Copies of this chain bind each other. A is one copy, B any other.
Amino acid sequence: MLKLTKKADYGLMALKYLAERPDTPALSAKDIADAYGIPAQLLAKILQQLTKKGLLKSHAGMNGGYALSKPAASISAYEVILAIDGPFFITSCTKGAHGCDLTPSCTIKEPLARVNETIAGVLKSISIQDLAEHEHPSGQAPEPKLVTLTI
């Protein structure tokens, strides 16, 4: 419950890895997979999905691989999760697929939808660059962000 998919997890790791090496033209899926110990074939598929959604640019052939299609600061964790796992909802009453059948009688779906929106806001406010820059050696506090929650 309320757990991130490992695929999304891996995707974030890969993007961070790319963000830390902005000068390299492209990195192959195998390179990134080896760097962390992620199953290579699985990572490959994840990167393909990210490419299809426009977050990455791919290049086949020798010395090919993947590169960010946007600056790291303008890629949010939300986009990544969305691209990999599809639209995400805290509850099962999504209106899209087969939602729960007691939607009409339910009285908490509106409040929960706000919570959903809030969490999405949290994810949206985190960029890949935030992840890549997470080293604060001198101990100074990084940028704190504010999220508003309205029940």
* A→B interface (CB under 8 Å): 1-6, 8-9, 12-13, 16, 35-38, 77, 81, 85, 88-92, 100-102, 105-108, 110-112, 115, 118-119, 122-123, 125-126, 130-131, 134, 141-151
Contacts and interface: CB of A to CB of B under 8 A. Distances in A.
Contacts of A8: 1
Copies per assembly:
2
B148 A144 contact: yes
Contact of A36 (B102, B130, B149): B102
A19 to B, nearest CB: 11
Nearest to A141: B150
Contacts of A6: 92, 100
